[in-house]
Chains A and B, each alone.
Chain A
Amino acid sequence: MSRPLRVAMVGIVLINLGFVQITEAAEWSWLAALFVLTVAAPWLVSLTRYFWYRSIWNVGVQVVFGIMVHRFTGVGGAQHLLNDGLILAVLCQVHLLNSLNAKQKPDLLFFNSFLIAVVTSYLSIDLPYMVLFLLYVPVLVFGLQMLALTRTGAEPTGRLVRAILRQSVVRSAVVLVLTMGVFLFFPRDFQRKGFAGDAIKFKPPRGLMQTDFTEEVALDRGGAVNRSSETVMEVEVVGGPSNAVTGYWRGATHTRYRDGRWLPAPSPREGMRATWRGSRGRFLRRDGNGIASLRVVQRKSRAKRLFPPLNANRLRMTPPANKALIRADNDGTMMCEWGALPGKSIEYVMAVEAPFRQPGGKRRTRRRDSWMIVDTRQMPDRMRAVARDLARRAGSGAMQFQIVETMRSYLAHGYNYLAPGEDGGARDLAEFFVERKGAHCEIFATALVLMLRSEGIPSRLVTGYRSGEWDATQRVMTVRKRDSHAWVEVLDPQAGWMTVDPTPSLDAAAAKSASLWSEFRGWAETVWASVTNFNDATRLRVLAWLRDLPARALRYAWIAGLFLVWFVWRRRRRRARVPLAVADYGSVLATLKLERRAGETPRELLARADLEPDARSELEAATRRHEEVRYAVQ
C-alpha cells in the first residue's frame, strides 16, 4: 500500500474520530487512545511483519471488544449501546488502518467511514459537524483517487501525488457544489415518516441531557449535556419593523420554589395587562393589530406549548394547526395539544406590540401572596444578606426597577456563567453564592427571584427560549433547542410584568459578537443551520433569493466590468508577446482547419497536409515566415 494512500486513510480515520467525539456520546478516554493509535499507524504498520506484534494487537482488539460487550450487557445496560457502538465503529477503523497489508483491500475502511458520518449526523448536527464534513469530502476524494492509482500497481511519485492533489481539490469542490445543488432543488417530502415508523429512531443515550425547554426546573441536574442545534421555531417578520421581535419566547412561568425545584402553581393574573381570549385557533389579548406581524413555524416536540413573547397581542393558527387544542393561561403562556395534527410542525401568525414598556410608578409593588413568601431556609444566609445590602445600596428612595437592576447587575457581573453540565458548575444556591462557582441560567434566575422576593418585590421564573440568531436578509429568527433559557419576570407597578435577565453569558456573548471570528462563526452557524433545518419554506426563500439574484447582481456589474477590462488587457498583452508571424501561422492553421500533432514541426505538417494549390501556397508562406522568426532561417 502506497504511503500517500495510507496518509489519506489516516486522515479519514482521524475525521471519523472527530465525528464520534463531537457527539459527546463516547468517552474521551477511549477516543484519546484511538487518536494516538491512528496517528501512530504509519509506524505501527511496519511492525505487522512480526508475529508477536500481530498477536498482541489482535488480542488487544478482542479484549477491548470483550470490555464493550461486558459493559453493554452487564454493567451499563442499554445506555452503553450507543457509546460502545460508536467506539467499536472507530476501533474497527483503527484496526483496519493498523492491520492492512499491501495485498489487502482497504474498501471496508472507506465504507465504514461513511457509515460513521451517517450515524453521527443523528447525534450532532452543530457547526463542528459541518467543519468535519467539509474536511471529510476532500480527504475521501483524495483517498479514492490514491486507491485507484495504487490498484494499477503504479508507484506514486511526488509529481503524481501533486497532480492527484490538484485534481482532488477541484473534484471535491465540484462534488460539494453539486451536492448542495441537489440538496436545494431535489423535491422531497420533509415530513416523511419512515416505513419502519418509530421502530428505528436514533436518540441520544439516556444519560445524555438535551438542552431544551422543560416544564420542570430542578437546579441539581447534572451530567453530560448535548447542546442540540435542532430547530424549535422559525420566526419570520412578514410586516412591520424587525426590532419589534423580542429575543425572549415564553414557555412556562414558575412561581413556587422549594428545595431546589420550581413547582407548578397557578400564576397570578395581575400584572398581565390583558389575558388571552378566543378559541378555534384565533386568540386576542388586546385590540389593535400591533406594530409587527410575525409568521411562526414551530416544530412539534414533547413540549406541548406555544411560545408567545410578552408583547404578543394577537395569534391566529394557520390550517390545519387551527384544529389543535389550545389553552391560554393567565400568565400569557399557551398550552397546545397537537398530537393528532398531521406533519411535523405547526404554523401561526402573531401580532406583537412594541416590546419595551417603561417601568416606574410607585416605589414598590406591595404583594404578599402565598407564592411570594420566601421560606428563609431555602436561601443561603449570605444570599439574604447580599440582597438586603443591595437594596440598601440602591438608596432609600430608589424606585423598584432600580433595586431590580442593582441586583441583576450584581449577579450578571459578579458571577461566572457555565453551560449546563460543564465541570465545576454549581449544583445549588449554596455552591453558587458561598463557593462562588459558575452556574447556568436556571440558577442565576432562581437566585434573582429569591433575592427580589426577600425584599418584597414580586417576581417569577420563566422558562422558554432566547435566541439572537437573526438573519437580517431574510428577516428570519431561528430558535434552537440549545437556546432554551430561564429568566426572571418582575411585576412592575407601572408596566406590569417585565423581563429581567441576570445571566451573564448573554452580556458576554454580546461583547464577543464584536470580534471578527465570532461574526464569522455566527455566519457559518446560520448557513449550516439552514442546511440542517432545510424545509419547504427555506427552499421557497432560496428560490426567491435566486430569482432576485440578477437584479442584485446588477449592482455589482461594475466589478464584473473591471474584471473584463483586466482580462482583455491581459490577453492582448500576452498576444503581443507572441511574434506576429507565429500568431499569423496559428491563424492560417485555424483557417485551413489544420492541427499540429504533438511534436510535429510546421514543415512536417506542411508535408502531410492535403491541400488545394492556393491553400498550400498560403501555408507554405506562413510556414516560411514562422521558421524565419522561430528558427532564424534565412
Chain B
Amino acid sequence: MRPTGLGIKAALFFAVLLAAFLATAYSNLFFLLLTALVVLGGCAMVWSARSLRGLVIESVAVEATPAGSRAAVRVEFDAAGRDRVGMTLEFVIGDDVYALPLSLLREERVWCGRLPELTRGVYTATEVRFATAAPFALFRTVVPVAAIPPIAIYPRPLGETEESGAAGGDELGANGAGASQPAGLREFRPGDDPRRIHWKASARRGEPVLQEWDGGRGAGYEIVLDRRGGAAFEHALSMIASAAQRAREAKETLTLHTQDHVATYGAEQRPWGELLFFLAGVTALDMQAPPPPVAPPEATRLPRAEAVA
C-alpha cells in the first residue's frame, strides 16, 4: 500500500493545518476538525488495506481475439459478501500497463470487461494485479493475481468487422480452397447452412435449393503458408484466420503446411485455439529461408502470386 498523489497532497495539507493549530491558541473546534482529518486518513489507510482482503479471484481469463478488436476478459470471483467498488484490473505487458476499471458487487460472481485494441501477436502479461485506491483515493493497494496464459491476438479474418463479428467474405472458398468444384443442386434440408443456398436456382424452382461441392470443402481446408511472403504475409494470415473460422463453423478440418509446422485442426484434431495461437505469434521468414514442405496439389497456396506481385 502506498499513498496516491491525492494522499501526498492531503498529508501536506494536514501538516500545514497542524502548524496553524500549533501556532494559535488551543481551540476545541480546530482540534475536532484536525481529529476528523486524522481519523479520515487513518480509516482510509485501514479500509484501503482491507479493500481487497477476502476477495477470492477464482479465475482471470482473456479470450483469443482478432487484431483490432478488444480482447474480452472474464473474471470469476467471490466478493465475500462485500461490495468492492473502484478497483482496477491491471495487465502489465512489456512497458505498458492496461488498467480495466471494475467493481465487484457482493451478489455477483462474474465480471466481464475488455482490454484495449491490440495488434496481432502473443502478449505475455508479466504481472496481472488488482489495484484499488478505494475508498477515498488517498492510498493505493495492489494484490497480484496468479499468472495467466499468454494473450493471443490473432489476425483479423478477412471481411470481419468488430461490430458484426462475422465473416463477410469467402475469398478462400471462391478461389478454391481445396480446389473444390460444384457437383450439383439439391433441395434445402433442415440443418443446412443457409449461406450455401443457391439463390438463382431457388428463384427458378420456387423453393430453396442448395449447391453441393465436390473435393476441397468436404475434405476440409488444405493450406500451404509460405512465410517468405513479405508484404502479403499479414494478408495471408488473415485469409487463414478466415478459413479457420469458416471451417470451424462448418465443422470441417483445416490442415496448415508451413515452414517447421504441419498440423491439422478441427474435430478430433488439434484444437482451434492452437491454430489461433500459432497465427497470433507466427513471424515472417526472410527470402533465403527454405520453402514450405510438400503438400497435396489441391492445397491452397498463400500468399497468392498476385498478392505477392
Contacts and interface: CB of A to CB of B under 8 A. Distances in A.
B33 A148 contact: no
A457 to B, nearest CB: 46
A122 B21 CA distance: 12
Interface stretch (B78-86, B227-235, B239-247): B78-86
Contacts of B298: none
Nearest to A108: B9
B31 A188 contact: yes
A148 B133 contact: yes
A229 to B, nearest CB: 11
Given A152-B88, A154-B102, A171 B56 contact: no
A94 to B, nearest CB: 21
A555 interface: no
A122 B132 CA distance: 37
Given A114-B33, A182-B35, A182-B39, A149 B103 contact: yes
B16 to A, nearest CB: 9
Interface stretch (B22-30, B250-258, B281-289): B22-30
A171 B135 contact: yes
Contacts of B58: 597-599
Contacts of B6: 105, 107, 147
A488 interface: no
A171 B43 contact: yes
Interface residues of B, number: 50
B123 interface: no
A165 B85 CA distance: 11
B150 interface: no
A414 interface: no
Given A144-B135, A147-B137, A148-B135, A175 B85 contact: no
A149 B23 contact: no
Contacts of B132: 148, 152
Interface in A538-564: none
Contact of A196 (B13, B23, B56): B23
A189 interface: yes
A131 interface: no
Given A107-B6, A152-B99, A191-B26, A597 B85 contact: no
Contacts of A129: 29
A622 interface: no
B308 to A, nearest CB: 44
Given A148-B133, A151-B137, A599-B76, A534 B28 contact: yes
Contacts of B22: 194-195
Contact of A118 (B30, B87, B134): B30
A192 B27 CA distance: 9
Nearest to A535: B28
A163 B134 CA distance: 13
Interface residues of A, number: 58
A43 interface: no
Contact of A183 (B13, B31, B85, B99): B31
A284 to B, nearest CB: 36
Interface in B1-52: 6, 9-10, 13, 17, 20, 22-33, 35-40, 42-43, 47
Interface in A27-79: none
A139 to B, nearest CB: 13
Nearest to A534: B28
A200 interface: yes
A121 B134 contact: no
Contact of B83 (A115, A167, A191, A196): A167
Q: Which of A148, A155, A166, A534 has the most CB of B within 10 A?
A: A148
A202 to B, nearest CB: 8
A148 B28 contact: no
Contacts of A196: 23-24
A5 to B, nearest CB: 11
A573 to B, nearest CB: 22
A154 B58 CA distance: 22
B105 interface: yes
Interface string B133-158: 11111100000000000000000000
A529 to B, nearest CB: 10
B173 interface: no
B29 A148 contact: no
Contacts of A122: 27, 29-30
B105 A153 contact: no
A554 B38 CA distance: 35
A153 B23 contact: no
B199 interface: no
B41 to A, nearest CB: 10
B24 A121 contact: no
Contacts of A141: 40, 135-136
A558 to B, nearest CB: 33
Interface in B63-100: 76-78, 83, 85-88, 99
A484 to B, nearest CB: 21
B110 to A, nearest CB: 9
A299 to B, nearest CB: 12
A224 interface: no
B83 A163 contact: yes
A254 B169 CA distance: 106
Interface in A133-190: 137, 140-141, 144-145, 147-149, 151-155, 159-160, 163-164, 166-167, 171, 174-176, 178-179, 182-183, 186, 188-190
A107 B9 contact: yes
B101 interface: yes
Interface string A399-429: 0000000000000000000000000000000
B196 interface: no
Contacts of A598: 56, 58, 76-78, 109
Given A118-B30, A148-B133, A171-B135, A137 B76 contact: no
Contact of A175 (B39, B56, B99): B39
B64 to A, nearest CB: 24
A531 B32 contact: yes
Contacts of A151: 86, 133, 137
A517 interface: no
Contacts of A114: 13, 17, 33, 37
A192 B22 CA distance: 9
Contact of B26 (A152, A190, A533, A599): A190
Interface string B108-142: 01000000000000000000000011111110000
Contacts of B40: 140-141, 175
Given A121-B30, A201-B25, 18 more contacts: A114-B37, A118-B30, A141-B40, A145-B85, A145-B134, A145-B136, A148-B137, A152-B87, A153-B88, A163-B83, A163-B105, A171-B43, A194-B23, A196-B23, A200-B23, A531-B32, A597-B78, A598-B78
23 contacts: A105-B6, A114-B37, A122-B29, A145-B134, A145-B135, A147-B6, A147-B136, A148-B133, A148-B134, A153-B99, A153-B101, A160-B105, A178-B43, A179-B32, A191-B26, A193-B26, A194-B24, A195-B23, A200-B20, A531-B29, A598-B78, A598-B109, A599-B58
Interface of A: 105, 107, 111, 114-115, 117-118, 121-122, 125, 129, 137, 140-141, 144-145, 147-149, 151-155, 159-160, 163-164, 166-167, 171, 174-176, 178-179, 182-183, 186, 188-196, 200-202, 531-534, 597-599
